[in-house]
Chain A
């Protein structure tokens, strides 16, 4: 009863990958199981948690509800491709610095959703950040460190210092 596979090319993080995959697979499954890109996580497979968020032509989508066949040839960005080169992306750097990533399972989804927000809006308000990540659930952090990390990453991407305040690291 093994599925017969189809051959397709996926452009992930700028590189084309030719893959033989089962045609009823979602993008999530192809990324994780056929391309070995396990940085994209899953927590429900129904679009209800945001853990599997990737960028599709720059737009954040839940890869568990994207049929792989539909996105052959389109630009897919995953957490493995967020940083350009050996240095962390400012979002990754700030998530690490503030502890916005606790168990880390939701982090990729948050950072990819946030990266699109910052493309669109380099200086978002706290409320705009809340709204932009409102499709991603985090059970560890209470979101606050995530908001702060996105704000500081935005500042760094604007060329500002973006240093954490004392309260962020030590409490009030």
Chain B
């Protein structure tokens, strides 16, 4: 049986207490929400906090506030199942609900939280392995070693952004609130991430992600398309979030983010640029052509590497297809 290493558990009752406790233990501490990411990592000894600060009793992290037409705020401890089954979110934020509902399995969604999903550790099949396995490759850059086996001459780590909600939430322009020892700050979600497999967030030491803010509904439409082997369990090995803002049928703003194919949700900048100012209609040949051409531009920025399920070259080829379909969904 794979078991957890020994550690001390703290169970504060408020976010502020959690931050205070974590600060007291510095880099030795880790927050835990649903535990579905941290505990497997601890069992595999890729994360080894000696102090774990559980957020399970922090009632202030479980709220949902906001109404249609204004910003909506979700506490970070909202479970993925709660999002999936929330009729109001289903009605107003269907793409977000869809992205949450295709995460992992129903069992893990019952446990996993939106905060945890936003901060999901980057994944790599040289890293998500037991201690013994990693020993046999002399470990890797992300943990205990020095080489990135995905690209051995690379100075950086290529572990993969693998959250389903992140590409979508980045595309729609969500924000998050972080609470740290030095106070609270609110940032665009896109600013939370960095293109690096190891330092994949800009979260400062001891900071706790407390809330997610969904933008007001004002005529944008979004979609999330996920590529994975099976209809359950699997992380995205390509996950496209797309969001189009319209004035009539003219696109005024577009944002496309490609997840599961690099260390952050990669913006498909050219694709988005080609759509802005264009008239796009459903079941319209000219629109279809335009979208296909724009989607083709997503091929280049997609950084699929040989460290996930499914062939990397094929995954890269699938990016335009999935981008195209995600954009079509928004019409």
Contact = CB atoms under 8 A, between A and B. Distances in A.
B35 A135 contact: no
Interface residues of A, number: 30
Interface in A127-172: 131-132, 134-136
A26 B32 CA distance: 14
Interface in B143-192: none
B39 A135 contact: no
A46 B2 contact: yes
A113 B106 CA distance: 9
Contacts of B81: 59
Q: Which of A22, A42, A48, A67 counts the most chain B CB atoms within 10 A?
A: A67
Nearest to A52: B107
A79 B228 CA distance: 32
Interface stretch (B4-12, B244-252, B276-284, B318-326): B4-12
A93 interface: no
Interface string A21-55: 01111100100000000000010111110100100
A65 interface: yes
Given A24-B7, A134-B232, A135-B232, A42 B107 contact: no
B1 interface: yes
B9 A65 contact: no
Given A29-B3, A134-B106, A46 B231 contact: no
Contacts of B3: 24-26, 29, 45
B107 A47 contact: yes
A70 B56 contact: yes
B6 A131 contact: no
A62 interface: yes
Contact of A23 (B2, B9, B104, B232): B9
A66 B106 contact: no
A50 B9 contact: no
Nearest to A26: B4
B35 A50 contact: no
Nearest to A55: B110
Contact of A62 (B9, B43, B108): B108
Contacts of A131: 106
Interface string B92-112: 000000000000111110110
B287 interface: no
Interface of B: 1-9, 11, 32, 35-36, 39-40, 43-44, 54, 56, 81, 104-108, 110-111, 231-233
Interface of A: 3, 22-26, 29, 42, 44-48, 50, 53, 59-62, 65-67, 69-70, 113, 131-132, 134-136
26 contacts: A22-B6, A24-B4, A24-B5, A24-B7, A26-B3, A29-B1, A29-B3, A44-B2, A45-B2, A46-B40, A46-B44, A47-B39, A47-B107, A48-B233, A60-B107, A60-B110, A61-B107, A62-B108, A65-B39, A66-B35, A70-B11, A113-B107, A131-B106, A134-B105, A135-B104, A135-B233
